[in-house]
Amino acid sequence: MTTGRATPRPVCPAVLDLQAYLNRLASAEPTPGGGSAATIVGALGAALVAMVARITLGSTKLAPVHSEALLLVGDADALRARFTGARLADEAAYAEVPRAQALPRGNDAEKSERTARLQAALAGAALAPLDAAGLAAELIAQCVRAAELGNTLLASDVECALDFGRAALDASAANVRVNHRLLKDAQLVGAQEQQLAQLLDAARHAESTARARIARG
C-alpha cells in the first residue's frame, strides 16, 4: 500500500563531500577561507571547459575541431586536478598564520621567534593564492580555446567557465594582497606584485578575446 510519499533518493557521496566542505567554510575555523574557496570556483570552471570539449567530440558537425577538443579535455582535466591541489596548499599555508600568532611573546626571545615565524607564515599564505591566480589565468586561456571550438549550443557554459575563472583570479589576487599588507620583506612583496600584475594583464587580454569569440556565436 502506498503512503503517498516519494521514496527518498540515495545521496551521492560527491554531494556529501561538497556539503561537508561548505559546512567547514561556514564555520568559525580560520580554514578553509577565501583562498581555498577561490580554487573551488576555478575547478568548477575547468570542469565546464572539459564538459564543453567532451560534448564537442560527440558532434559530427564539429569534426574539424575534434583534435583540439581532445587536447582541451586533457588540459582542462589536468587543470582541475591542479586546482584541487592548490586548495589543499592554500589551507595548509594559511593554517600556519594563526599557529604563529598563538606563539608566546613573554620576552624578547619569544617575541623575535614569533615575529620570524609569523613573517614566514605570511609569505607562504601569499604564495599559495599567487599560485592559484596563475591557475585561474590558465583557465581563462582555456576558455579562449573552448570558445574557438565553435559549439554555439554551449556558449553559455563557456561564458560561465570564463566568469568562474575571472572570479577565481580576482579572489586569489585579493588574498595575495591582504598578506602583503603585513609582510615586511619589501623585495618579496615587490616580486610577487610584479608577477601578479603580469598574470592579471595576460588574463585581461585572454578574457577579452574569449568574450569577443562568444559574442560572434
C-alpha cell at 122: 605570511
pLDDT surpassing 90 at residue 4: no
Distance in angstroms between the alpha carbons of the first and the last residue of the chain? 54
Closest CA to 65 of 161, 143, 145, 144: 145
The verdict on residue 62 lying in a domain is yes
pLDDT surpassing 80 at residue 179: yes
The verdict on residue 21 lying in a domain is no
Residues 148/213, Cβ–Cβ less than 8 Å: yes
pLDDT above 90 as % of the chain: 91
CATH number, position 109: 1.20.120.680
Closest CA to 45 of 203, 162, 214: 162
What is this structure's pTM? 0.91
For 136, counting Cβ atoms within 10 Å of its Cβ (0-12 exposed, 13-18 middle, 19+ buried), the class is buried
DSSP 81-130: HHHHHHHHHHHHHHHHHHHHHTS--SSHHHHHHHHHHHHHHHHHHHHHHH
The verdict on residue 25 lying in a domain is no
When pLDDT is cut at 50, 70 and 90, the band that residue 8 belongs to is very low
The verdict on residue 10 lying in a domain is no
The domain tally of the chain equals 1
Phi, psi of 213 (to 5 degrees): -70, -40
DSSP 47-79: HHHHHHHHHHHT-GGGGGGHHHHHHHHHHHHHH
The verdict on residue 28 lying in a domain is no
Tens of pLDDT, residues 30-84: 999 999 999 999 999 999 999 999 999 999 999 999 999 999 999 999 999 999 9
Which structural domain range is residue 98 located in? 33-216
The verdict on residue 119 lying in a domain is yes
The verdict on residue 5 lying in a domain is no
The verdict on residue 40 lying in a domain is yes
